[in-house]
Amino acid sequence: MKIKGYLLIILIVVSAVGLSVCSYIYTPAKYQEYSAGVDKEPVMAPMLKGVTAGVFPWTPVEEAEDSKPEEQQAKDEEKQPEAKIEVVEPKSFTKVEDDYFDDAVFIGDSRMVGLSQYCPEIDSRATFFAKKSLTIYNLQKDAWIDVENGPKETIFDALSKISFSKVYIMVGINEIGRGTNETYHDAYADVINRIREIQPEALIFINSTMHVTKEKSEGDELYNNGNINVRNAALFDLIDYQHVFYLNINDMLDDAEGNLDASLSGDGVHLKGSCYEPWHQYLLFNGVVD
Binding residues for other proteins, rule CB under 8 A, total 49
Q: Please, what is the minimum distance in Å from the beta carbon of residue 163 to other proteins?
A: 28
In whole angstroms, give the CA distance from residue 43 to residue 95: 56
Smallest gap, in angstroms, from Cβ of residue 117 to other proteins? 5
Q: What is the 3 state secondary structure string of 162-191? A: CCCCEEEEECCCCCCCCCCHHHHHHHHHHH
Q: How far apart are CA 95 and CA 91, in angstroms?
A: 13
Q: Helices 181-198 and 225-233 meet at what angle, rounded to 10?
A: 50
- Applying CB under 8 A, does 5 fall inside the site for other proteins? yes
Q: Is 15 helix (H, G, I), strand (E, B) or coil?
A: helix
Report the alpha-carbon distance of residue 182 to residue 227 in Å, rounded. Answer: 14
Beta-carbon count within 10 A of 27 CB: 20
List 69, 177, 200, 226, residue binding other proteins (CB under 8 A): 177
178 binds other proteins (CB under 8 A): yes
Q: Of 74-113, which residues contact other proteins (CB under 8 A)?
A: 109-111, 113
Stretch that binds other proteins, among 58-66, 173-181, 200-208, 235-243 (CB under 8 A): 173-181
Question: d(Cα 238, Cα 223) in Å, to the nearest integer?
Answer: 23
Q: Does 180 bind other proteins (CB under 8 A)?
A: no
Find the shortest distance in angstroms from Cβ 179 to other proteins.
Answer: 10
Rounded to the nearest whole angstrom, what is the least distance from the CB of residue 113 to other proteins in the complex? 8
Q: Cα 59 to the chain's mean position, in Å?
A: 24
To other proteins, the closest distance from the beta carbon of 267 in angstroms equals 5
Q: Between 156 and 223, name the residue whose CB sits nearer to other proteins.
A: 223
Nearest by Cα to 208 from 241, 179, 230: 230
Residue 64 binds other proteins (CB under 8 A): no
Interface residues with other proteins (CB under 8 A) are 1, 4-9, 11-12, 15-16, 34, 36, 40-42, 44-45, 48-49, 51-53, 109-111, 113-114, 117-118, 132-133, 173-174, 176-178, 222-223, 265-267, 269-270, 272-276
